[in-house]
Structure 1
């Protein structure tokens, strides 16, 4: 009787395994419309992927546009804060006996004074300092460079109000004025 009991156990196991499998597993071969089903599934996957790529592209375009707009707005804001193009600018000019010329645009800012100086006619290789002179006799260095042939334009700044400026000079290494605008 032992072989008969074993066969019954095997049959019970087979029945349990068959209950776990879906009915489609008992079919011989793929269903007759398997190619159509695969084609529809792949089409759906491709369409979803295409939509995701387009969505990402739109998000990137909007983000880029916002970044560019922010940079431009920041530039305009900073330019206004620095007094660029403001009506409070004063232009000082001067010429030395040696033929050096200087024009300085002076702009009052929140932190002091902003200068843009254009200098021409200095000796090539001369060490130069841009110095702001106040009405009460103080001096403030605003920039330095080494002169070369031709016109030089440089920007500088000093911790003084534009209304206190008496003049601006270019001085050499020995602090002798080369050209003064005032």
Structure 2
């Protein structure tokens, strides 16, 4: 089977999540019926989606972050306005679907808002990004002792965010916030600090999410608790 015969494979993730419209779904299902490889791939995606649905509710604070549905709508609307080409719209939907299926989304959105405080004494910017457009940075708050290393990857009008956070108190209900230059705030993810150390270096937790904020409009990334106490901020 040639590569051309599998050109619709990129839509399998969107189909598994129910994101295709009626015509697209009918057309894709007709192609899948005659493709055993595609049938196996779709079954694997649905199985993965079912496994992600078994994540215990205690992992989240009080369900999805506020405005999560609005954020997704804003992201899709902005992508359509920037490019009317159907293929680009599909690529954005498939990109978001892939993020959900791999479990990288802890909560929803991103955002903006306050200037960096003087307590962020040890903040430092990294060397130029190793990939085109990628921005990284790290900081340690001298007062709270909390630390964070952040990597932002630009997309079409939004950014992917990866953060390694440490030095937080067990039991704290925390949020990962993106602050924009215009003063907006959006929540990228939320979690409860556990007793066991996590993360790739065993010193905290690794987080991933996305924000409907263009890369050039991001001011900083912040970790704060549910009462608004700021633990650490990384300037971008």
TM-score range, shorter chain: 0.5 to 0.7
Contact 1:92 1:167 survives alignment (8 Å):
no
SS in 1 for 2:133: coil
The root-mean-square deviation of aligned C-alpha atoms, in Å, is 3.0
Q: Deviations over 1:145-178 (max 9, x none)?
A: 1112431001111110111111100011111111
Q: Does 1:165 align with 2:232?
A: no
SS in 2 for 1:87: coil
Q: Distance in 2 between matches of 1:143 and 1:161?
A: 18
2:139 maps to what in 1? Answer: 94
How many positions carry a matched residue from both structures? Answer: 112
Pairwise mapping of residues 111-122 of structure 1 onto structure 2 (< 5 A)?
111-122=157-168
| CA-CA distance at 1:113 after TM superposition | 1.3
Q: Distance in 2 between matches of 1:130 and 1:121?
A: 14
Flag as ranges the 4+ runs of structure 1 deviating above 3 A. Answer: 62-65
TM, length-normalised to structure 1:
0.53
SS in 1 for 2:161: strand
Contact 1:102 1:119 survives alignment (8 Å):
yes
1:127 maps to what in 2? Answer: 173
| CA-CA distance at 1:64 after TM superposition | 4.9
Q: Does 1:179 align with 2:224?
A: no
Higher helix share: 1
Q: Deviations over 1:84-119 (max 9, x none)?
A: x84211012111122111011111112511100110
Q: Does 1:136 align with 2:189?
A: no
Q: Which runs of 5+ in 1 are unaligned?
A: 1-61
| CA-CA distance at 1:63 after TM superposition | 5.9
